[in-house]
Amino acid sequence: MKKVLALVLFVSNLLFCVNSFAADEKEKVNLGEIVVTASGKEESSFNFPGNVSVITDKAIERSNALFAYDLLRSEPGVYVVDQTHTGKSVTVDIRGFGDTAARNVLVMMDGRRLNEIDISGPDWAQIPVENIERIEVMRGSGSVMYGENATGGVVNIITKKGKGDSTLGYAYETGSYRLNKQVVTAQGGHPFMQYNLLGKYEKTDGYRVNGYFEGYDYDGNTTFKPTEYASLNVSGGYHKDWYGMPAGLRRTQMDQVGRNGSRTPYDWAKTETGYIQLSPRLDLNTGIDTNSLEADIWIRKMRKKSVTNADWGVPFGMVISTQASQIANDGGTFRYRIGQNYGSINNEAILGVDLFFAENWLMSVTPAVASFDQLTITKKNIGVYGSDKLTIADNLIINGGYRYEWVNYVFDQQDDINNYIERTPSESSVEIGAEYKYANRGAIYGRFSTSYRFPSVDEFYSIFTGLTPNLKQQASETWEVGIKEDTLKYFTAKCGFFLMNTHNEIYYDPTAGGGFGDNGNYDRTQRKGVELSLKSDMSEYLQTYFNYTYLNAYFLDGAFAGNKVPMVPASKVNWGVIWTPFVFLDVHFWSDYTGIQYPINDQFNRQPKLKDYFVCNIKATFKCKGWEVFAGVNNIFNQKYSELASASVNGVNLDYFPAPQTNWRFGASCKF
């Protein structure tokens, strides 16, 4: 780490010298990306000692993203794995957790947690990409501010808010696999109220047989601001979808039915979700000091049902099992901010309390063996935290924070066994960081943080194997150093180095539990890597960017010592060119490369590696007087690849989840 720190210091001094010869007009007018994720308030990304980036509204418009997670594919340090490419069964991984990434990356929308209490993770199909203003990505632990799940990083989705004159909008898209998407929007604003409404319908057959998706979304928010010191945002949404589950394919099966075939052509599921959220804000300004009270309070209910039918080799049409579940959760986060100036020193402190309650009701029916199981699980979280940031002479920032969190699990199984089990684990986390700003938009930083993760409810307890009594909560320590450079006229760079040690990492062992599989703890794992981002604005007509990630995730101790963590590629490269020959025409070409990796469940690294893939895409957008027309092509060179593969329990077979080959989209929209 000493060598890395010395390298960072050398590079920062070199850039400082180069800056003295570079034009720096943009520094006088631009403070860089504005983020809220790092500290919970709006501030420049250069005022936080860590690696935070923003996917702006312009970047969202230039992308060919069908779903929100597609926007994250080109981010350094972020890996996206999609089983069906319909928005369901998606994993967003930050800093290499592989199969358990959905439980180690916290996803939020306007301050509301989207991670489920079970292993399913966030449902990305319920986040309309058309309603996103920007996405903030914080790499590294966010446990002090946000609690569990924030081990690898935090993804915070900020939705659009009403502003300006009232407008109505309509958008239509079509494309490969009989895509049909229609979106209606309405938004506007007044000094005392702003509103934003969205209705969306989407249907596609999907790339694979039984890979269909059909869904509806209705979202809206209204902000009331009766005075300059107080505001209230009220938001809510409803989502409903139906989708097929084509499952993985083995090599021999792909030879029989093709890459887009399915061995489970009749498996299906549906989801229905509704939520409402209140976010009041009260500013308590006292002279040069700024204090405020803030809260985000929400309630949500989700219902899911899935039906598993006959697989190959089983009598046709036979229903194997039906599973239904309902998850209801209530949550709230309450913050008190204290801001004071002491001459050249500015102090900002946050005191907060997080409350979370969830109830998960599950029912499973297996006609083939006359089995019926019903289980009710409740989970309660209480977290208290405090953080403080000192800014000295506008160029030295020191921050620190601490959190303590209690959890209560109750497992109530209503069957012949009639189990009732309770668990009450607790954990804490700390962070401390420092940043030196050698220019308004140039800084070097260092950060140490700890994080934790409590087991998901179905990691702790299964209707097949019961409670896993020896399962421990997971804990990590992360060290980071980096540089953020945006003082040169045509060039922007971010580079970060990190080292993470994880103890008792929770994982699924398919060989345990008498053949049903069970969850356990790794002895110790380590992750270290580099995250590099380069951008160049050569002119108002041409922009380029290049992102590179190196990640080494491996086991330090135990039976797997020295082996690589499955489903974590060592290298990832993203680059693109944005050409704007006219003010009304924008052309974006980009490419994503992902390196080789071991399949899920292959901790011994004995299976063939999942091959690397290189995918190129292009999108052209034309705008004129409230109208917008675009055309895009994904996977231009028709690469045949899979983002995911899973090893069988006996280690003999691999199931692949083929990704789409060349596909296209076309759309038009207008605003009145």
Q: Is pLDDT at 29 greater than 90 in this prediction?
A: no
Higher pLDDT, 317 or 151: 151
Query: What is the arithmetic mean of pLDDT over 18-41?
Result: 53
**C-alpha dihedral over 514, 519, 522, 525, to 10 degrees?**
140
- The whole-number pLDDT of residue 160 equals 94
Alpha-carbon torsion (64, 66, 68, 72), positive or negative: negative
Mean pLDDT, to the nearest integer, of 279-288?
80
Q: What is the pLDDT of residue 403?
A: 98
pLDDT at 334: 96
Model pLDDT for residues 186-202, shown as the tens digit of each residue? 999 888 999 999 999 99
What pLDDT was estimated at residue 514? 64
H helices then E strands: how many in the chain?
7, 38
Strands (DSSP E) found in 367-425: 371-392, 396-413, 420-423
The region that residue 356 occupies, defined by phi over 0 for left and psi between -120 and 50 for alpha, beta otherwise, is: beta
Whether 20 shows a pLDDT value over 50: the answer reads no
Range in 31-45, 227-241, 411-425 the model is least confident about: 31-45
- Return the pLDDT at 121: 87
Smallest CA-to-CA distance from 506 within 559, 477, 470 is with 470
Q: How many CB atoms lie within 10 A of CB 428?
A: 15
Model pLDDT, residue 417: 59
Q: What is the pLDDT of residue 127?
A: 94
Q: Which residues, including other chains, have CB under 8 Å from residue 375's CB and lie 6 or more apart?
A: 361, 362, 363, 411, 412, 413, 414, 461, 463
pLDDT 10s digits, 64-89? 899 999 999 999 999 999 998 888 98
Q: What is the pLDDT of residue 32?
A: 58
> What number is the average pLDDT over the span 168-176?
97
pLDDT bucket at 5, cuts 50 / 70 / 90: very low
Model pLDDT, residue 9 = 42
Convert 571-592 to b/e letters by CB count within 10 Å (16 or more is b).
ebbbbbebebeeeeebebebbb
Other residues' Cβ atoms within 10 Å of the Cβ of residue 609: 16
**Model pLDDT for residues 431-458, shown as the tens digit of each residue:** 999 999 998 889 999 999 999 999 998 8
At 418 the pLDDT is 64
Q: Give tens-digit pLDDT for 314-344.
A: 444 555 678 888 899 999 999 999 988 888 8
| Closest to 325 measured CA to CA, from 87, 119, 517, 100 | 119
Query: pLDDT class for 500, splitting at 50, 70, 90?
Result: very high
pLDDT for 366 equals: 64
Q: Please give the average per-residue pLDDT across 398-427, as a whole number.
A: 86
Per-residue model confidence as pLDDT tens digits over 372-404: 677 888 999 999 999 999 999 989 999 999 999
Residue 4: pLDDT band by 50, 70, 90 thresholds?
Answer: very low
Give the chain's mean pLDDT: 88
Q: Answer with the residue of higher pLDDT: 234 or 3.
A: 234
CA 613 – CA 571 distance, rounded (Å)? 11
Over residues 117-128, mean pLDDT: 91
Pairwise CA distance, residues 406 & 386, whole Å: 16
Weakest-pLDDT range from 313-327, 343-357, 537-551, 567-581? 313-327
Taking the C-alpha atoms of residue 327 and residue 319, their distance in angstroms, rounded to an integer, is 24
What percent of the chain has a predicted confidence (pLDDT) above 90? 66
The sign of the torsion formed by the CA atoms of 80, 96, 148, 350 equals negative
pLDDT for res 545: 96
Q: Which domains occur in the chain, in start order?
A: 2-671 (2.40.170.20)
**pLDDT higher than threshold 80 for residue 409:** yes
pLDDT at residue number 626 = 86
pLDDT of residue 364: 74
The whole-number average pLDDT for the span 197-219 is 96
Can you give the pLDDT at residue 24? 39
Q: Tokens 């954990």 correspond to what residue?
A: 427
Q: How distant, in Å, are the alpha carbons of 443, 595, 635, 651, 658 from that of 254?
A: 51, 23, 20, 19, 9
More confident call, 181 vs 488? 181
**pLDDT tier at 34, thresholds 50, 70, 90:** confident
Closest CA to 128 of 234, 270, 273: 273
Q: What's the CA angle centered on 435, arms 431 and 440, to 5 degrees?
A: 140
Q: Is the pLDDT of residue 505 over 80?
A: yes
Predicted confidence (pLDDT) at residue 481 exceeds the cutoff of 90? yes
